[in-house]
């Protein structure tokens, strides 16, 4: 069992930045690839970014490429996403997940509770 807790969400103006954190407990964090997803009101949950468990290879959705950076610190059992140049369309609940290195939510076994990110215009 893995427990995931997101933090760092909040309200920011367009063009600003936020860094989200996801702290893991339970089974060994380094055994899992990690991903970030988001869900806006009335929309499906969509892929944001993912990172491999050890080598640090990353993959991003086209909508965030060049603006968001995913990273992990296995010693701290934490994964991060640095979000720069935020746009109102980035407004969503952001979720971290543990599982496979994939853009599909079906490949992830564990999910956090989500943290709200609101970008004002």
pLDDT at site 31: 87
Which segments within the chain are labelled E, that is strand? Answer: 2-7, 10-13, 18-26, 33-39, 46-51, 58-60, 68-73, 78-83, 92-99, 108-111, 115-120
pLDDT in tens, 36-92: 999 999 999 999 999 998 778 999 999 999 999 999 998 899 999 999 999 999 999
Q: What is the mean pLDDT of the chain?
A: 95
Q: What is the CA radius of gyration of the chain?
A: 13
End-to-end CA separation in angstroms for the chain:
40
pLDDT at site 67: 98
Contact 8, 19 (CB under 8 A): yes
């Amino acid at each position: 069992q893995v427990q995931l807790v997101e933090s760092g969400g909040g309200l920011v103006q367009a063009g600003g930045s936020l860094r989200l954190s996801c702290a893991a407990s339970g089974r060994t964090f380094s055994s899992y690839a990690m991903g970030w997803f988001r869900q806006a009101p009335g929309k499906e949950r969509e892929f944001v970014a993912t990172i491999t468990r050890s080598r640090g290879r990353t993959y991003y959705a086209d909508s965030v490429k060049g603006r968001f950076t995913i990273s992990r610190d296995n010693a701290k059992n934490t994964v991060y996403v640095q979000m720069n140049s935020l746009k109102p369309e980035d407004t969503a609940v952001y979720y971290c997940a543990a599982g496979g290195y994939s853009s599909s939510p079906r490949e992830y076994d564990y999910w956090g509770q989500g943290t709200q990110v609101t970008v004002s215009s």
